[in-house]
Amino acid sequence: MNPFRSLHDYEEFVYTLQQTYPEIVQSTLVVARRGHGMAILEGELLFAQDRRLSIYEILTWDIGPLVIQQYSYESWFGGQKLYWYDPQPHPNDPTLANNHPHHKHIPPDIKHNRIPAPDLSFKEPNLHILIEECVTAVSD
């Protein structure tokens, strides 16, 4: 169930992430309206040990709850991209069919090596999942 009934709800969530997750050292996330019923979330979350999460979401709402129309999430360690998530369809890859189009690009051959991302959604927030993944990596 999407807890964000409005852009204001989502903004409050985004701008209080550091209070919810003390592992976030810094946030540069900004929610910017782009006309009636559309906004973009963009920026980075910085963690200890030179880890960061780059975030880009296109958000829309009409008469219902907020929906993610498009996203890109990248995890970095220093200058090295570790993995990324995107919803670019790959209809010819049957291993991704169960959670089409959500998937994660992982090494080796990060551009072409994809696995399903069953927890990601357009209808529910994804940031909790991504932050938990980064927090776990930092604590390992």
Q: Which has the closest alpha carbon to 103: 72, 64, 59?
A: 72
Q: Which has the closest alpha carbon to 55: 67, 70, 71?
A: 71
Residue-wise pLDDT for 112-131, tens only, equals 899 999 999 998 889 999 99
Bridge partners (DSSP) listed for residue 105: 84, 114
Per DSSP (E only), the strands in the chain are: 24-27, 30-33, 38-47, 51-60, 67-77, 80-86, 103-105, 114-116
Q: Which has the closest alpha carbon to 114: 131, 102, 127, 129?
A: 102
Residue-wise pLDDT for 45-101, tens only, equals 999 999 999 999 999 987 778 899 999 999 999 999 999 999 998 888 888 888 889
pLDDT above 70: residue 2: no
